[in-house]
Structure 1
Amino acid sequence: MYDKEQLSARIEAYMQALPFPQEPDTLYEPIVYSLERGGKRLRPLLAAMACNVFREEIDDVLPCAAAIEVFHNFTLLHDDIMDNAAMRRGKPSVQRKWGVNSAILSGDAMLIYAYRLLEQADTSLLPQILRIFNDTSLKVCEGQQYDMDFESLEHVPMTDYLHMIELKTAVLLAGATAIGAVIGGASEEDRGKLYTFAMQLGMAFQIRDDILDSYGTEATLGKKIGGDILEGKKTFLTTAAMETADADMRLKLAGLLHNRELLDETKIARVLDIYDRLGIRERAEKAVADYTAAALEALAGVSAPEERKGRLRDLAAALNGRMH
């Protein structure tokens, strides 16, 4: 059985060896640039780990794991266009470096390339893999649309926010895990439990990201702290604060989030002061812990030896403890 470092190394080697054409360079260079910027490779790692729970060798899962990572980076590339983002993972975004038109076309090519990777799956498993991938991909698009729709709303109910992050973030982790389980030969019941595990883990992962953006460090986050506050983004923290605050404090928070004249540091400090007075960080930490516990409960029900599920347990613990 592989440990996390061995799986990560296998995935990274496979990603680096993907045979993209050379021409036209304005189409393929942005793709290579996007994939070379790294990231956590969390989704392909989940696929490989899920496969490895049920079978020793992981060669067959690597093309599908790579397909999921290519798809994920395609969504980030198009997200940056929608957000007019200048940076991604500490480097200029594709749309800033090559222009919007090239970013759109390179993103489209990445989606097609993901399907070419999926074609390499065992033909007996391919219909099932494609169903999972297509259902997952469509849900990610739905989540992105909800996220954009929320931008024009003063307040979003917590249930709507949680539904949005389930679609935009958690479902891709769950889909990746389910595909890995299919390739590994898991039973339908075990695939369902692993899907639930990854869905709950994805919810915890996104809420942890929301916490990190306001309370982390630049070294941990890889960018300046407070970006979500400055951009007025709907996060678990802002949603919980709007839900918890009385009318006066809600009005004050809304005014701060819309204020473009305050110095960045002042704006962030005042919003965090409201969060602290309302106990918002503690509520978010509890949500992370609750979702992580639900993930581990689902994992415990998977009918595989405990030592073979250990990598997934360790990953859940590591993601839950990302603040440090």
Structure 2
Amino acid sequence: MNSLETYSKAFDTHLKAYQWKNNPKNLYEPAQYILQLGGKRVRPVLTLLAAEVFGEDYRKALDAALAVEFFHNFTLIHDDIMDEAPLRRGSQTVHLRWSRDIAILSGDTLFSLAYGCLESYDESIMSRLTKIINRTAVKIYEGQQMDMDFETQKKVSIEEYKEMIRRKTAVLLGAALEMGAVVANTSESNKKAVYDFGIQLGLAFQLLDDYLDAFGNPETFGKQVGGDILENKKTFLYLKALENADTDQVEQIKNFFLHKNFDATKKIDAVKNLFLNTGAAASILKEIEKHTLAAFDSLEQIDIPANRKNQLRSFGESLMGRSN
């Protein structure tokens, strides 16, 4: 088995070797820009890792991993547009650096190019990989719509919120692993188990992202800390704070989240204190641990040698120990 660093370096080399068109410049340059911003390459590394743990040379999964990364960055470009986000991975977002219209087209292009990456596989594998992307895309769109609906929905339950992040975030981690398993041509039961591992890990990963959005270090988080608070997003922290709050705290929380005309720094600090004082911050950390452990439990259903399972576990531990 290779190290995670080996997978990451191999993927970056493969990405750099991709032959981009140069014209129209304003279509392809933004796509290359967001990909060059880097990140941990979590999803493509998962695809390579899954292929190898199921007995295939990870290099045979490089094109599938590239498809995963292209698709992921397509969703990021569109997500940033809808969120009106100023930063992505610490740099200016595509729609602000170019324009909203260019960002939409560039994101759509990445989506289409993802399918092109799969043309190197034989028809049977390509068909299965394409079906995974199609299924995942619809789930992500559903999750994004749920997220937008929550902005005007008067009451959102914690279970509704978790279902939204399952569709919007977790399904892509599951899909990345499943695609590697498909390239390796492993059993259906193994594909399901590794997908379930990705779903649980994805839930934990997104909840950790929610936590870091409020309590992370701006220098290492890569996005605007407090962005969810400023956008009045109904995250797990917000919902749990309301659930635990006393009457006075409920009034304070609702006041902050009904309006945007507060000083940004003061609003972020005040809401963070409410998250801490209501126990919401402690609750989300417990929820993160719960889904991380559920991910590791799903590994027991995978029929591979223990040392290969440990590679998946190690990745999960590394992912959940991300810098704050």
Query: TM-score interval w.r.t. the shorter chain?
Result: over 0.9
AA at the equivalent of 2:21:
P
Alpha-carbon deviation of 1:146?
A: 0.7
Residues 244 and 279, structure 2, Cα contact 8 Å, conserved in 1: no
Q: Which amino acid is the alignment partner of residue 298 of structure 1?
A: S
Q: How far apart in 1 are the matches of 2:118 and 2:138?
A: 16
Cross-structure match for 2:166? 166
Query: Distance between the aligned counterparts of 2:97 and 2:225, measured in 1?
Result: 24
Q: Which residue of 2 aligns with 1:269?
A: 269
The yes-or-no answer on 1:79 pairing with 2:56 is: no
After superposition, the C-alpha distances for 1:138-162 in whole angstroms (9 at most, x for unaligned) are 1011111111111123441111100
1:12 aligns with 2:12: yes
Per-residue CA shift, 1:82-105, capped at 9, x if unaligned?
Answer: 222232222221111221221111
- Shift of the alpha carbon at 1:257? 2.3
Q: Which moved more, 1:160-169 or 1:296-305?
A: 296-305
Shift of the 27–225 alpha-carbon distance from structure 1 to 2, 3 Å rule, reads closer
Report the counterpart of residue 50 of structure 1 in structure 2: 50
| 1:91-240 aligned within 5 A | 91-240=91-240
* Shift, 1:49, TM fit: 0.7
Query: 2:261 & 2:77 partners in 1: Cα distance?
Result: 30
Q: Residue 115 and residue 201 in structure 1: after superposition, are their counterparts in 2 closer, same or farther (change >3 A)?
A: same
Greater Cα shift, 247-256 or 176-185: 247-256
Aligned length: 324
Deviation of 1:251 (Å): 2.3
Q: Is the 8 A contact 1:194 1:302 kept in 2?
A: yes
**Uncovered stretches (5+) of structure 1, i.e. residues with no partner:** none
2:90 match: 90
* Structure 2 contact 197–296 (Cα < 8 Å) conserved: yes
* d(CA) in 2 for partners of 1:44, 1:222: 19
Displacement after TM superposition at 1:224 (Å): 4.1
- The aligned amino acid for 1:57 is D
Q: Would you say the 8 A contact 1:170–1:203 is kept in 2?
A: yes
The Cα shift of 1:323 comes to 5.1
> Any unmatched runs of 5+ in structure 2?
none
Distance 1:119 1:56 in 2: 19
The equivalent residue for 1:258 is: 258
TM-score normalized by the length of structure 2: 0.95
Contact 1:157 1:243 in 2 (8 A): no
Partner AA of 2:24 in structure 1: P
Shift in CA distance, 155/41, structure 1 to aligned 2, threshold 3 Å: same
Q: Which amino acid aligns with 2:174?
A: A
CA-based RMSD: 1.5
- The residue identity in structure 1 corresponding to 2:81 is I
CA contact (8 A) 1:43 1:68 kept: yes
Measure, in 1, the Cα distance between the counterparts of 2:121 and 2:242. Answer: 47
Q: What's the secondary structure of 1:153's corresponding residue?
A: coil
Name the CA distance, whole Å, in 1 between partners of 2:179 and 2:39.
Answer: 21
Residues 1:308 and 2:319 are matched in the alignment: no
Structure 2 counterpart of 1:272, which letter?
Answer: K
3-state SS of the aligned residue for 1:124?
helix
Distance 1:306 1:168 in 2: 31
Letter in 2 for 1:16: K
5 Å-filtered alignment, 1:270-309, equals 270-309=270-309
Bigger Cα displacement from structure 2, 33-42 vs 196-205: 33-42
Helix, strand or coil: the match of 2:153? coil
* Deviations, residues 271-299 of structure 1 (Å, cap 9, x unaligned): 12222221111110111111010000101
User: Does the aligned pair in 1 maintain the 2:66–2:117 contact within 8 Å?
Assistant: yes
Q: Give runs of ≥4 in structure 1 deviating > 6 Å.
A: none
The code of the aligned residue for 1:66 comes to: L
Percent of aligned pairs sharing the same letter: 41
> Do the aligned partners of 1:154 and 1:254 also contact (CA within 8 Å) in 2?
no
Q: Report the secondary structure of 2:120's partner residue.
A: coil
Give the whole-Å Cα distance in 2 for the aligned partners of 1:108 and 1:120: 21
